[in-house]
A and B are shown apart, each in its own frame.
Chain A
Amino acid sequence: MSRLPPSTAQVRRLLASREIRHVVVLGANGTMGYGSAALFTQAVPRVTFLARTKAKAEEGLAAAIKQVRSPTVASRADVGSYEADLERTVGEADLVFEALTEDLAIKRAMFDRVEKARRDDAAVATVTSGLSINELCEGRSDSFRKNFLGLHFFNPPNVIVGTELIAGRDTDPDLLDFIEAFARLRLGREMVRTADTPAFAGNRVGFKVLNECAQLAEELGPVLVDRVVGPYTGRALTPLSTIDLVGWDIHRAIVDNVYESTADEAHDTQRLPAYMAKLMQKGVLGNKTGGGFFKRDGKTKLALDIASGDYRPVSEIALPDLGYVDDVASLYAQGRYEEGMQVFLAAEGREAEAARQVVAGYIAYAFHRVGEVAESINDIDRIMGMGFNWAPPSVLVDTMGARAAVELIEKAELSVPEVLVAAAKSGGPRRFFEHPHINVGRFFVAG
């Protein structure tokens, strides 16, 4: 059973129980560092940007101001270097927020210094997107471990509100409750508690789907994959464009970590395609290196030819007739989501079948992870909806109906989660998705 959300009165009491008046951000020149630091300046009177040099920290501050488009960030911020300012500022901080590069040894070395400098009551949070919270604080003092937690914002944090909160074995439950309330009410976050498992909940489920699409690109090519697993399947940004945006190196780090440290029923879909590893050796990392699955040459959009490694204009790539996608989109445009979903489920051809395989894999994988990465399917739903901006698995099930979902997963030759089998048999529950304030229609993009 999932925890009951605290009442308004409880939340207000929690917020009053503790104060965050000073946050020190470590790694404040990195994307997650300055993005998170900017977020904190909204609700915290003093935020210290720290980096290897003061000049780097200043770059972080400038990037933060640009990201949230408010010069007032500066009036709440100060900058410094680890060498000159860490001990002093960490000693004054209520919250130390670590956003260094994703490397266990580097982070642990930094926590050595933080441990010596911090006050006993100061909280320490890491923004890691997948390193183990327990490993990160292993061997530290009781006070450190009690006050240590994962606070995983998604990039860019000023736009994406889904946030994972991860406890270590020894994290103080009161601190977790407070951080959850603070982040929700003061920073406008959608907070989801996840287990300390590889890639937590969002990236575990999300990158499985993205990687499966990268695998599928070997057969269908990038253009067709992004068309058939496109917006109409419940996402604003198409899958391979997402990998280009995130960066191929980050994608590899996440799927390799999951592939090495888990052995679930979808293990094969977590294996990085060999062509990606090969192209990465040649320096292809996605948008940050000027191209990945897609690139631009002036006004011309080019797509990767996976076999040759060359790029061809998208306009010259012949696509099969995908009229069903337009039919789905025009039903979505009028808000007729159930009807659009039925058209997708009934569509003929290899492309529609491939798209259904990905969607079936997403739903089944998410439901099978309940109890492992999060307490309930609704936690996974919220992070997929508000962290990835994808139709949450439950929303897809509700829209197609439990019986159709079971059929979809069976046809994909995947194991069907028991709750879906039970729901299909009994005809209930009427809704798996339980968040009355989240409009499910927003996830069905007509295109």
Chain B
Amino acid sequence: MAADSEVYVLGGYQTDFGRNWSKENKHFSALMREVVLGALERTDIAPEEVESAHVGNFAAELYCMQGHLGAFFTEVHPAFSGLPTGRHEAACASGSIALLAASAEIEAGRYDLQAVVGVEQMKTVSAAEGGAFLGTAAWYSEEADGIDFPFPKLFGRLGDEYDARYGLDDEYLAEISKINYANAKLNPNAQTRTWYMNKDHALCRSDDNPAVGGRIRIADCSQVTDGAVCVFLASRAYAEKYARGMGKRLEDIPRIKGWGHNTARLRFSDKVAESLENEYVLPHVRSTITSAMKRAGIADVNGIDAIETHDCFTTSEYMAIDHFGITAPGESWKAVEAGWLEIDGKHPINPSGGLIGAGHPVGATGVRQLLDGCLQVTGQAGDYQVEGAKNVQTLNIGGSGTTSVSFVIGV
């Protein structure tokens, strides 16, 4: 295991996830341009300082008929022409994979300042067509071909697996949805901040909240979102210089204290078969979380002040609760019932609103989670600030629990 990570996060910028860029008649390159220029302005970094860029994106080839996204970084500013760039893909974990690659290059001493951009434009196609595109994050021919909205069904099965092993009352899933939507109202960049939602609605069984995959109803789902996020990662040497220039101390600059990364087998049925003897339903996800904590020198979840987790569906957040160790395996409902997950609770989850409330532009999500962690530990999260947060942990998942990445960010 590597020594103390020396990767610093200087800050960044996200687009308003409520925007529909197709309705604005905009090309995907406008997303990239706005987010990178926004991040430069917000962090007060000159474009000439950036040495390299990593772009996380899932499926621009499908949604926008456009590949080679790393090259679009050079279109943002004349100073970027010639920079080394690349694009990373691991389904919904694409953003985190881009972050891992950038931080590895910093740790290797290749570069001192890197831009990481997560971007996805999804509202270019109908819901059904988009649902099929997302199916390529599973083993398409085995699990998604010919199925309407394959992913809600796969994560419905995650709920069923919990139900079979430990019992699961859907009321707890509705409560998870409600908390995410309520937190989103506090986040000025959240997609659903103006949507109508309360717990009654999340629980209601009507045409306004139809089932889309087994026990998964519309209110249990994350959103189809256009969005981009950009953060700047830096070496210790650069962060020291940056902190001096900003009149700050190095200790005030957030650092990636630990990371975890695992990839499980693609098919959901294979994952479940592998874990039958295990107390955790998705043991590789558990391993990702604990290895990030271990690298950060944090003993357990009591050392984490807030979590930004991958609630692509309420069942994935339900899974995250016990996998983070907030409760014993199978007892996630206890944390919901005790009110621990709310912003002022013992273990706040998704103060931003998460993927359900803030939105889920697939390739941008991992970067958005890290940026929100950065805002939290520097006290800049505004109305969704978790008071006194010093360490935030993310969990970003690609596929049906297939690729998992977790970061601990802290000051």
**A residues apposed to B, CB below 8 Å:** 8-9, 11, 38, 41-43, 68-72, 75-76, 158-159, 161, 184-186, 188, 231, 236, 329, 332-336, 436-439, 441-442, 444-447
Contacts and interface: CB of A to CB of B under 8 A. Distances in A.
A336 B26 CA distance: 11
B204 A71 contact: yes
Given A70-B204, A335-B34, A442-B16, A158 B185 contact: no
B25 A445 contact: yes
Contacts of A186: 185
A8 B383 contact: yes
Nearest to A45: B198
B208 interface: yes
Given A75-B200, A159-B194, A336-B33, A8 B24 contact: no
Interface of B: 15-16, 19, 23-27, 29-34, 38, 42, 75, 185-186, 188-189, 193-194, 196-198, 200-201, 204, 206, 208-209, 382-383, 385, 387
A70 B218 CA distance: 12
B383 A437 contact: no
Contacts of B209: 70
B193 A334 contact: no
Contacts of A68: 196
Contacts of A71: 204, 206, 208
A334 B25 contact: no
A46 to B, nearest CB: 13
Nearest 9 Cβ contacts at the A-B interface: A335-B30, A335-B33, A437-B188, A72-B200, A446-B25, A68-B196, A72-B201, A439-B16, A441-B34
B25 A439 contact: no
12 contacts: A8-B383, A9-B387, A42-B198, A75-B200, A188-B193, A231-B25, A332-B30, A335-B27, A437-B16, A438-B188, A442-B24, A445-B25
B197 A69 contact: no
Contacts of B33: 334-336
A447 B26 CA distance: 10
Contacts of A159: 194
Nearest to A186: B185
Given A75-B200, A336-B33, A445 B24 contact: yes
A445 B23 CA distance: 8
Contact of A333 (B15, B25, B198, B387): B25
A219 to B, nearest CB: 28
A42 B186 contact: no
Given A8-B385, A70-B208, A329-B25, A436 B42 contact: yes
Nearest to A12: B344
Contact of B185 (A9, A185, A332, A333): A185
Contact of A158 (B15, B194, B206): B194
A155 to B, nearest CB: 14
Contact of B189 (A11, A437, A445, A447): A437
A335 B201 contact: no
Contacts of A329: 25
B208 A334 contact: no
A335 B19 CA distance: 14
Given A70-B201, A335-B34, A444-B24, 7 more contacts: A42-B198, A185-B186, A335-B33, A437-B188, A442-B16, A442-B19, A446-B25
B383 A69 contact: no
Contact of A335 (B29, B197, B383): B29
Contacts of A236: 23
A99 to B, nearest CB: 18
Contact of A72 (B16, B31, B204): B204
B16 A438 contact: yes
Contacts of B188: 437-438
Given A42-B198, A445-B25, A446-B24, A335 B31 contact: yes
Contacts of A335: 26-27, 29-34
B246 to A, nearest CB: 16
B196 A38 contact: yes
Contacts of A76: 200
A438 to B, nearest CB: 7
B38 to A, nearest CB: 8
Nearest to B344: A12
A437 B31 CA distance: 15
Contact of B196 (A8, A158, A442): A158
Contacts of A70: 196, 201, 204, 208-209
A302 to B, nearest CB: 25
Contact of B208 (A69, A158, A188, A231): A69
B142 to A, nearest CB: 36
Contact of A446 (B26, B31, B200): B26
A8 B382 contact: yes
Nearest to B189: A437
A69 B29 CA distance: 34
Contacts of A75: 200
